[in-house]
Each structure stands twice: as structure tokens, then as C-alpha cells.
């Protein structure tokens, strides 16, 4: 695999393993998390150039850490930044807002936090109920004409909303949930992405770490985890056994199961890059190695048989 790939028709050249930066604002000595800026610097040092953040990750803190770190080390020009907006605090409550004026202000605020004068990829993070999607995407098209953003994305949009927003073929990238436990995007939306040369970035690639091969039957689960469907029995045991079947492939490539999973996503024609979330440097470094794995057609077939698209969380 070449080191950099182009994200669909956006022209952005990125390392296929991006850094999902939702956890980099979590640094807290009491939980032994590392300072996000250090994880970022190490990632860049190892060759990563693509960072995925959003206003809502730490209420601007993830963006601010990225902005400070890149400025301090004069690295802005080497990095492709994707960020997102749509969340508005109204009387202390979060509401979704896609109004053109609000999105325009959100971009201005992100530019300040990121300490830059352009954002490489700006997504509407979630659809709101009211704004026609052509108007929302139209606001981003104007910001692109002004040079404030370089390409346009949407996230968590239904196919109808994507089509509505894409009347002028302005959408470059779609980001949505897709992983081995939820492959519905493949039949529902991949054909449209193919037709429109839209790059698809799957989020939640490890389904909370469950597909990263770090759990077994003896793992102590938190109450929060236990409340999630993938951690409920008998589904949990079924998933563990499926993940275990990827071990032989991981051994063959002398890597971890999480990299087999990432390489499988990257084998999909509409997926140019993935953005695994990393809590620390070790995870980030481990995940970067997935870029060197080129699964064969037979190996991809094997994975799709272990995790058939019909497999659904009960």
C-alpha cells in the first residue's frame, strides 16, 4: 500500500490511518491518560498526517490541543485536519443546528481553536430536523469558495439527506458508523458513494475496543459497558469467538487483531482511510502498522464469512 492516499475527489492526500482525536482531550493523571498533544506529536513523528476531531470532543478542547500543538511545533502545513460542527448549547442543553449562519460561525470558531486560517475537511456532524440539507451544504460551499475550508463532509446523514445535500455534487466525504458488527452501510450507501466518488470514512471501527482483540471472558466490564448490546450475553461470547478466529491472520502478519480489522475496512473500494480512536501512544503506534497490511481476496472472504453482514446485535 502506498503511504498516502487521496480522499475521493477532495484531492486531500492522507495517511490511510488517521488519528481519531475524540479521546485526546481526556488527559487526566488519575486515569493515567497521556496528554493528547504528546500522542499527536508521536503520531506525526511516525508518519501520520490525518487528524479527525470535532467541536463536541471535549467542547472544543480536542481542537484546542491540536491547534496549540501544531502551532508550537510549526506543523500545520504538514497535517490534514478534519473537524465537525452542528452542536449548539442552548440554555445549557445541546441542540443540533445546520442553519447556514450557525455553521458559518462554527467554522470561524473552529479556525480560532485550531489556530489556522483553513480547515482541510469540514463535516456537518449531525443532521438537524429543520434545515434543508442543500442549504446546509451550500453554506459549506461558500466557505470553500472563501478558502476557509478545503473540502466538504457530512456525518450521520441518512442516504436521503446525503442526496438532498449533494444536489451539486459538493460532498467529498461521508463519515458514518461502520464496523464488522454493523455493516449495513455496505449495501445501503456504498453504491451511491461509488457512483458519486464520495470517500467513506468509517467511525467506531473497533466498536468500543471490542474488535481490537483486547477482551476475553475474564475481562472485568464496567457498568457502562455492560449496558451496551455488544457486551450482553449470549452476543458477547459470540463476538469474542468471532474475534478469536481472526487471530491466525494476525499471527500470519505478525500483528494484532485490530490491524486485521482495519486492513479489512481499507480493502473496501470506497474506504480510503480509517480513524481509529487511540487513548495512548501505544495504541496509536500499534494501529499505524495496519497501513502495511494488504489482505488477499481469500482473506477478505474469510473475514466476511466469520462476520457476515447479516450478523446483527441482538
Beta carbon of residue 200, minimum distance to ligand NAP (angstroms, whole number): 12
Beta carbon of residue 212, minimum distance to ligand NAP (angstroms, whole number): 4
Among 86, 205, 246, 307, binds ligand NAP (CB under 6 A): 205
- Cell 481519531, located at residue: 20
User: Would you say 74 or 224 has its CB closer to ligand NAP?
Assistant: 224
Among 49, 69, 131, 287, binds ligand NAP (CB under 6 A): 287
User: Would you say 238 or 285 has its CB closer to ligand NAP?
Assistant: 285
Among 50, 190, 203, 265, binds ligand NAP (CB under 6 A): 203
Beta carbon of residue 298, minimum distance to ligand NAP (angstroms, whole number): 25
Does 33 contact ligand NAP by CB under 6 A? no
Pick out residues in 158-187 that bind ligand NAP (CB under 6 A).
Answer: 175
Among 215, 283, 289, 307, binds ligand NAP (CB under 6 A): 283
CA distance 212 to 166: 34
User: Would you say 85 or 131 has its CB closer to ligand NAP?
Assistant: 85
Among 214, 242, 268, 281, binds ligand NAP (CB under 6 A): 214
Taking residues 243 to 262 in sequence order and writing x for each that binds ligand NAP by CB under 6 A, - otherwise, the string is: ---------------x----
CA distance 196 to 123: 17
Does 23 contact ligand NAP by CB under 6 A? yes
Does 311 contact ligand NAP by CB under 6 A? no
CA distances from 153 to 4, 118, 232 (A): 20, 15, 34
* DSSP string across the chain: --S-EE-GGG--EE-SB-EETTSTT---GGGTPPPHHHHHHHHHHTT--EEE--TTTTTTHHHHHHHHHHHHTT-GGG-EEEEEE-EEEETTEEEE---HHHHHHHHHHHHHHHTSS-BSEEEE-S--SSS-HHHHHHHHHHHHHTTSBS-EEEES--HHHHHHHTTTS---EEEEE-BTTB-HHHHHTHHHHHHHT-EEEEESTTTTTGGGT---TTPPPPHHHHTSGGGSTTHHHHHHHHHHTTHHHHHHTTS-HHHHHHHHHHTSTT---B--B-SSHHHHHHHHGGGG----HHHHHHHHHHS-TT----
Among 83, 106, 131, 156, binds ligand NAP (CB under 6 A): 156
Beta carbon of residue 169, minimum distance to ligand NAP (angstroms, whole number): 22
Provide the annotated active-site residues. Answer: 57
Q: By CB under 6 A, how many residues form the interface with ligand NAP?
A: 26
Q: Which range, of 71-79, 273-281, 290-298, 300-308, touches ligand NAP by CB under 6 A?
A: 273-281
Beta carbon of residue 67, minimum distance to ligand NAP (angstroms, whole number): 16
Residues 6+ apart with CB under 8 A from 131: 97, 98, 99, 100
Q: Which range, of 3-11, 16-24, 159-167, 293-301, touches ligand NAP by CB under 6 A?
A: 16-24
Positions that interact with ligand NAP (CB under 6 A): 20-23, 52, 155-156, 175, 203-209, 212, 214, 258, 275-279, 283, 286-287
Amino acid at each position: 500500500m502506498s503511504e498516502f492516499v487521496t480522499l475521493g475527489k477532495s484531492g486531500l492526500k492522507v495517511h490511510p490511518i488517521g488519528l481519531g482525536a475524540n479521546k485526546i482531550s481526556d488527559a487526566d493523571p488519575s486515569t493515567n491518560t497521556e496528554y493528547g498533544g504528546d500522542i499527536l506529536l508521536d503520531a506525526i513523528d511516525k508518519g501520520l498526517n490525518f487528524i479527525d476531531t470535532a467541536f463536541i470532543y471535549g467542547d472544543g478542547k480536542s481542537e484546542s490541543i491540536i491547534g496549540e500543538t501544531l502551532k508550537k511545533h510549526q506543523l500545520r502545513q504538514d497535517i490534514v485536519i478534519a473537524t465537525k460542527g452542528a452542536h449548539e448549547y442552548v440554555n445549557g442543553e445541546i441542540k443540533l443546528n445546520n442553519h447556514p449562519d450557525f455553521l458559518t460561525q462554527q467554522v470561524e470558531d473552529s479556525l480560532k481553536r485550531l489556530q489556522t486560517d483553513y480547515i482541510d475537511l469540514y463535516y456537518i456532524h449531525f443532521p438537524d430536523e429543520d434545515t434543508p440539507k442543500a442549504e446546509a451544504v451550500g453554506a459549506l460551499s461558500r466557505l470553500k469558495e472563501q478558502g476557509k475550508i478545503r473540502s466538504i463532509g457530512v456525518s450521520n446523514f441518512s442516504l436521503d439527506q446525503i442526496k438532498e445535500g449533494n444536489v451539486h455534487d459538493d460532498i467529498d466525504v461521508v463519515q458514518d458508523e461502520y464496523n464488522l458488527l454493523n455493516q449495513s452501510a455496505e449495501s445501503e450507501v456504498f453504491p451511491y458513494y461509488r457512483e458519486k466518488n464520495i470517500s467513506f470514512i468509517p467511525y467506531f471501527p473497533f466498536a468500543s475496543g471490542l474488535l481490537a482483540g483486547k477482551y476475553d471472558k475474564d475481562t472485568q466490564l464496567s457498568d457502562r459497558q455492560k449496558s451496551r448490546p455488544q457486551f450482553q450475553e449470549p452476543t458477547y461470547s459470540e463476538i469474542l469467538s468471532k474475534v478469536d478466529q481472526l487471530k491466525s491472520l494476525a499471527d500470519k502478519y505478525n500483528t494484532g487483531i485490530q490491524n486485521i480489522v482495519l486492513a479489512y475496512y481499507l480493502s473496501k473500494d470506497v474506504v480510503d482511510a480509517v480513524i481509529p480512536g487511540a487513548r495512548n501512544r501505544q495504541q496509536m503506534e500499534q494501529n499505524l502498522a495496519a497501513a502495511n497490511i494488504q489482505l488477499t481476496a481469500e482473506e477478505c472472504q474469510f473475514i466476511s464469512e466469520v462476520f457476515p453482514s447479516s450478523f446483527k446485535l441482538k
